[in-house]
Structure 1
Amino acid sequence: MSEILIGSILSALSTGVGALPILFLKNTISHRFRDTLLAFTAGIMMAASIMSLIPESLANGSYIQLVIGIFLGVLTLTLLEKNIPHMDLDHNKSGIEFDEKALLIVTAITLHNIPEGLSVGVSYASDSASETGNLIAFAIGLQNAPEGLLVALFLFNQKISKLKAFIIATLTGSIEIVTSLLGYYLTSYITFLVPYGLAFAAGAMLFIIYKELIPESHGDGNEQSSTYSFIIGLLFMILLLEI
């Protein structure tokens, strides 16, 4: 129980860690830095999905359960994408600009964190809970960090003070603690859900990688540096899996 609690809290609070630079930035960050960071995160999450979540799902269940779980994860993210406004970035050379619906965007980001929290919780309920759970919490935490920075930048651009922007960005990740515990208890006490849950987590992460992280990392002509960053992130996560 202590591991899932610590893992989910650290993963969720990484949103706030990512938002910390807003307290010191005068203007904004370059697209090149942002794109490189997003691509590195995509590589981390890809390795976690393919080399940890999917094999673990197969070890706990069947191929059919894996397919069902993955498509449930993809479908959930698809429905969220279609029905909840997402934070779209306007790419330009001078920096990052956002649209003006602050409350709506913050709500959208918070709701988008629900499947990520479930992914962490389910991972801690698998047979190799310590290894898988910690790795997935780490991968999701890395994904949360740039997201926290982007949310804080968005709020700062809406004339909200740096401190308030930091606090709100941190709070958007806090829902992951609740959903992590929910995912953990569901799959711990209803054990046949474990392979579905692990596959669900993999499907959700693969959707985020291909639908959001990779396209956004290529949005300002930084395809080459983002590609190298993706590969480095992939190899970095493989190293962690092998240690």
Structure 2
Amino acid sequence: MNEFLIGNAVAAGATGIGAIPALIFRKGTHRFRDVLLALCAGVMMAAAVFELIPQALALSDFIMVSLGLTAGVLALTILETTVPHHHLEHGYGVKIDKKAMLIITAVALHNMPEGLSVGVSYGSGVEGLGPLIALAIGLQNMPEGFLIALFLIQQKVRMITAFLIALLTGVLEYISALAGYFLTSFADGVIPFGLAFAAGSMLYIIYKELIPESHGDGNALFATYSFILGLLAMLLLTTVF
């Protein structure tokens, strides 16, 4: 339990860690941002395809995994279409009005399925899976925190306020991780479904958000190599641990 609480806090708090470079440098190049996003996409892809899905299959069957994965994709689709959502990386340099808080709220809500994947991974009882997924999610959260902080700073928000807002976007992720962890503790049958659900939500984020955003400013080649590097890095971690 203590290991889960620590891992969950690190993953959820990574948005705050990612915000620090934005406070220091204040200006991030498109190439730097795109390479970072693609790197995290590779890490998440490896975690979903080589860890979450195989573990779900080992504990259940194809039908259960398919249902869980589809449910994860549909949950993110509903969230995407019902919550006001803006791509932050295309927003800086543009004045924002009352919708600013809606944008931050949308980002925070997108963290919920990520938190679920951390909680379910720890609750599954599979040795080493929880820390590995927490690491993958934490790495994905860091550029998100960077983008949020950079976006807010360019909107003339105080640096300390930008940092705190970026950090607070991980609160929902922490709560959803707790829910996922305790749910698996009471119902073992939900573990493979939850793992597949988490994989589906991660794959949705990768393909719908991270990859398109990393290719949007003419840095597709750099982003592609960064994606492969992230995938290989995660494979190395799975091999070592």
TM more than 0.5: yes
> Which string of whole-angstrom CA distances, capped at 9 and with x for unpartnered residues, describes residues 10-40 of structure 1?
0001110000123222x42000000000000
Counterpart amino acid of residue 20 in structure 2: L
Q: Could you tell me whether the CA contact under 8 Å between 1:89 and 1:97 is conserved in 2? A: no
Deviation at 1:157, TM superposition (A): 1.8
Does 2:16 match 1:19?
Answer: no
- 1:232-243 superposed matches below 5 A: 232-243=229-240
Contact 1:98 1:154 in 2 (8 A): no
Distance 1:90 1:155 in 2: 11
User: 1:155-189, CA deviations, whole angstroms, 9 ceiling, x for partnerless residues?
Assistant: 11221101110011101112211111110000121
Whether contact under 8 Å (1:38, 1:213) holds in the other structure is: yes
**CA deviation after TM superposition for structure 1 residue 112, in Å:** 0.9
Structure 2: segments with no counterpart, 5+ residues: none
Runs of 4+ in structure 1 off by over 4 angstroms are none
Instruction: Tell me if structure 1 keeps the 8 A contact 2:89–2:147.
Output: no
What's 1:104 paired with? 102
- 5 Å-filtered alignment, 1:215-230, equals 215-230=212-227
1:87: Cα distance to partner?
Answer: 2.8
CA distance in 2 between partners of 1:98 and 1:59 (Å):
49
Amino acid at match of 1:31: H
Bigger mean CA offset, 107-116 vs 213-222: 107-116
Give the number of equivalent residue pairs. Answer: 238
Distance 1:241 1:77, change over 3 A: same
The aligned residue for residue 4 of structure 2 is 4
Q: Secondary structure at the match of 1:97?
A: coil
Aligned match of 2:44: 45
Distance change >3 Å, CA 99–CA 195, structure 1 → 2: farther
1:91-131 per-position Cα deviation (integer Å, ceiling 9, x unaligned): 5xxx9435612111111111111111111000111131x41
SS at match of 2:54: helix
Cα separation, 1, equivalents of 2:221 and 2:17: 27
Question: What is the SS of the residue equivalent to 1:240?
Answer: helix
Within-5 A mapping of 1:202-217: 202-217=199-214
Using the size of structure 2 for normalisation, the TM-score is 0.95
When the two structures are superposed, what TM-score results if normalisation uses the length of structure 1?
A: 0.94
Q: What is the distance in 2 between the residues matched to 1:215 and 1:223?
A: 9
Structure 2 residue 83 is the aligned partner of structure 1 residue 84: yes
Percent of pairs with identical residues: 57
Match of 2:121 among 102, 123, 134: 123
AA aligned to 1:9 is A
